[in-house]
A = this chain, B = another copy of it.
Amino acid sequence: MAKKVTFNIDKKKDFSTWYTEIVKEAELADLRYNVKGFLVFQPMSVLAMEKMYEIYEKKLQEKGHLPYWYPSVIPSSNFLTEKEHVEGFSPDVFWVTEYGNHQKLEEPLALRPTSETAFYQMFSLWLRSYKDMPFKTYQRAQVWRNETKATRPFIRSREFYWIEAHNAFSSLKEAEKQVKEDMETAKEVLHDRFGIPFLFFKRPQWDKFPGAVNTYAADALMPDGKVLQQPSTHLLGQNFSKAFDVKFKDKKGKDQYAFITCYGPAISRIFASMISIHGDNNGLVFPFEVAPFQIIIIPILLNKNDKEIIRKAKSLQKKLSKKYRVHLDLTDNKFGEKFYQWEMKGIPVRIEIGPKELSKNEVILFRRDTKTKKNVKINLLQKEIEKTGKDLTKNLIEKADKEFKNNIISISSLSELKKMKGKFAHVDFCSIDKDGEKCAAKIEKEGLEVRGTRIDVNEKPKGKCIVCGKEAKIVVYIAKSY
């Protein structure tokens, strides 16, 4: 018997249940794999994430990055070369120590938790002259971290899928320019293509990537009002080039250490933000471009011209597959059940074809975000789908932007901040350098975090630090975080 699906969970009121249930019901990932914190990603997420990789990689290549595949393992000795880095990452590392019948390896190998210590030893072999730079690289890869925080599918797991870009420059200025470019790339991809609004921050000094001079990162808001960090970009300066001897001859023939930046958009985590932001109480709503299937075709079989309807459905599938990812549901579930299933799974466009439509040479076109139906003549179908897809994505972006804007509020007193629920607060603050750490610690006791100052706009404080009452030097944003 076919299973009846009636997904109906209030996303705003009970986001945690909504998220857990949709991951399971929409078959995004199966958590029953028998290693804790590791999961099996299923087709409904993998098809979308593959498309997301494609879009992100294309954008990086357009901006001059070239792709590499580095080994997944990093010798213990490499890993230990940069002092702050090893302190930051050591607790999380999985170690490969044996092979075959449990013989010991000569040296333990880290399963990469991130790849700075793999990339930069190669940079030191490849870079010779200022002419070799800018040197812009990336890899698509999974990384492994033995997270001590609670894992949640796509948001935080012990193996996750990301892109890491690593770049070398002959001047600090160019490296700083790269940080700006990374931020723009995040906007062009996360916001403009996936519909995820975010703010881009310079992180406080106490919240930097281990080994970085400065860390910059995007924060998106989840429906429960907590922020989720999205791509971060790190100005590593010369820290790693000194540790790994990445030197070049400048225009005067003098040896210099290269300036390095790295950038890490995590595809599986971006997927988490995307489905959470666009979903509704009945399940997922995918932007048209990245949906696992963009179109679902459902034949309405009422024992009347069934064969002809199936033939027509197949011919539509074949035709539309030249341009779109199309799935034809020929299971023997009832069509009402199919409607529920594919709505819950967030497929943007549904095409229904039954005896009535067949006779009129048209189909019914259902659009997931607005849940509206319209009859479309078959000869106009392709054009209508194109338009519907664009409209749907545009609508999702606009809705998300509006919601995001509504959740950013200005707060000017500590008592008000303590009462804040599910918002992102714009706050006058003393400093994100070392001297601000004490005030930040007080805020952390309330379960809140100072996320940093914006670098895309220059925001001036109007009054005193919300915590210590001293003259505020900056404006920061404060929220609960994942």
The chain A residues found within 8 Å of chain B, CB to CB, are 30, 32-35, 38-43, 46-47, 49-50, 66-75, 78, 90-102, 108-109, 111, 118, 121-122, 125-126, 131, 137, 142, 144, 146, 159, 161, 331-332
Contact = CB atoms under 8 A, between A and B. Distances in A.
Contacts of A121: 33-34
Contacts of A66: 43, 46-47
A93 B100 contact: yes
A201 to B, nearest CB: 29
A159 to B, nearest CB: 6
A357 to B, nearest CB: 27
A49 B139 CA distance: 13
Contacts of A99: 92-95, 146
Nearest to A141: B142
Nearest to A62: B321
A104 to B, nearest CB: 10
Contacts of A40: 68-71, 122
The 9 closest A-B pairs by CB, nearest first: A43-B66, A38-B71, A41-B69, A95-B98, A99-B146, A46-B67, A91-B100, A97-B97, A94-B96
Contacts of A98: 94-95, 97, 108
B161 A69 contact: yes
A32 B92 CA distance: 27
Contacts of A38: 71, 73
Contact of A100 (B32, B74, B92): B92
A107 B174 CA distance: 47
A299 B323 CA distance: 36
Given A43-B66, A96-B95, A72 B30 contact: no
B50 A159 contact: no
B100 A34 contact: no
**Most chain B CB within a 10 A radius of its CB, from A91, A100, A159:** A100
B30 A125 contact: yes
A72 B108 contact: no
Contacts of A46: 66-69
A73 B157 CA distance: 13
A278 B98 CA distance: 40
Nearest to A53: B50
Contacts of A131: 331-332
A33 B71 contact: yes
Given A46-B69, A95-B97, 19 more contacts: A33-B118, A35-B74, A35-B75, A35-B109, A41-B69, A43-B137, A46-B67, A47-B66, A47-B67, A69-B142, A72-B142, A94-B96, A94-B99, A96-B111, A97-B97, A99-B146, A100-B146, A102-B108, A131-B332
A122 B34 CA distance: 10
Contacts of A71: 33, 35, 38-40, 159
Nearest to A92: B100
A454 B151 CA distance: 50
Given A95-B99, A100-B93, A122 B33 contact: yes
Contacts of A102: 95, 108
A70 B126 CA distance: 34
Given A40-B69, A46-B68, A100-B146, A78 B122 contact: no
18 contacts: A32-B125, A34-B121, A35-B71, A35-B73, A35-B75, A35-B109, A39-B71, A41-B68, A46-B67, A47-B66, A69-B161, A72-B72, A73-B94, A90-B101, A92-B100, A93-B100, A94-B98, A95-B98
Nearest to A101: B90
Contacts of A50: 67
Most chain-B Cβ atoms within 10 A of its Cβ — which of A47, A146, A332?
A146
A170 to B, nearest CB: 16
Contacts of A146: 99-100
A42 B122 CA distance: 11
Contacts of A90: 100-101
A140 to B, nearest CB: 9
Contacts of A142: 69, 72
Contacts of A159: 71-73
Listed residue (A71, A93, A102, A146) with the most chain B CB atoms within 10 angstroms of its CB:
A71
A97 B94 CA distance: 8
A75 B30 contact: no
A328 to B, nearest CB: 12
Nearest to A47: B67
